[in-house]
Chain A
Amino acid sequence: DTEVTQTPKHLVMGMTNKKSLKCEQHMGHRAMYWYKQKAKKPPELMFVYSYEKLSINESVPSRFSPECPNSSLLNLHLHALQPEDSALYLCASSQYGDMNTEAFFGQGTRLTVV
């Protein structure tokens, strides 16, 4: 199983809503990542979890709150988002966090903030 599963595939939320994006992998990977991708742009790193601890936060606004409940799961909690936060949110995982190993991406969650 080399899959990274993201749910939901699509999400529309209002600026006052609270929602969560979920990511799951069963490859035994110890590093998991959240990326944000705008149309026709490369993915931008948001957060890195290594061994279930937050190791990188790329100065992401506090309205995005990551959580790693266990080594297989990664959540991204969303609150009071802005329309400019609309994007494709990608989760990825790799065996270790040093980027010497293959990174597998999920299919993404298409988020629209209205």
Chain B
Amino acid sequence: KNQVEQSPQSLIILEGKNCTLQCNYTVSPFSNLRWYKQDTGRGPVSLTIMTFSENTKSNGRYTATLDADTKQSSLHITASQLSDSASYICVVSARLTDKLIFGTGTRLQVFP
């Protein structure tokens, strides 16, 4: 069964600190993996998208890694800001389908 699991479920950090979110997937055949940021009640916004051959991709203070052998990905946030408070969703697509498989998200809260 195609699944995407994320950890932790929720995370609280202080402003300026770094954090890492985890994503494990069992989607096959793998096409690509995306990280989205979603503010409460708003649509998801893409942070990164990585294919099988990419190990790391950065978008400002966000850096995603992908290990296609172990089927794991991480999202590292550097020097967190209050505006980083949101849900971060790991999404995987399988080849030859029109569907995205969503993880349940990590709820991040950044406090001053």
List the one stretch of B12-20, B44-52, B76-84 in contact with chain A.
B44-52
A16 at the interface (CB under 8 A from B): no
Asked if B44 and A43 make an inter-chain contact with CB atoms under 8 angstroms apart, the answer reads yes
Asked if A99 and B46 make an inter-chain contact with CB atoms under 8 angstroms apart, the answer reads no
Interface flags, B34-57, vs A, CB<8A=1, else 0: 101000011111100100000000
A86 at the interface (CB under 8 A from B): no
Q: Which residue of A42, A103, A104, A110 contacts B41 across the interface (Cβ within 8 Å)?
A: A110
**B side interface size, CB within 8 A:** 25
**B31 to chain A: closest residue by CB:** A100
Q: In the complex, how many residue pairs between chain A and chain B have their CB atoms under 8 Å apart?
A: 58
A50 → chain B, closest Cβ, in Å?
A: 7
Asked if A107 and B43 make an inter-chain contact with CB atoms under 8 angstroms apart, the answer reads yes
CA distance A50 to B99 in the complex (A): 12
Q: List B contacts of A4 (CB < 8 A).
A: 43
B93 at the interface (CB under 8 A from A): yes
A103-B31 CB under 8 A given contacts A42-B105, A43-B44, A108-B41: no
Q: List A contacts of B46 (CB < 8 A).
A: 102-104
Asked if B93 and A100 make an inter-chain contact with CB atoms under 8 angstroms apart, the answer reads yes
A residues within 8 Å of B by Cβ? 4, 6, 31, 40-43, 45, 48, 50, 55-56, 88, 90, 92, 97-100, 102-108, 110
B residues within 8 Å of A by Cβ? 31-32, 34, 36, 41-46, 49, 89, 93-100, 102-105, 107
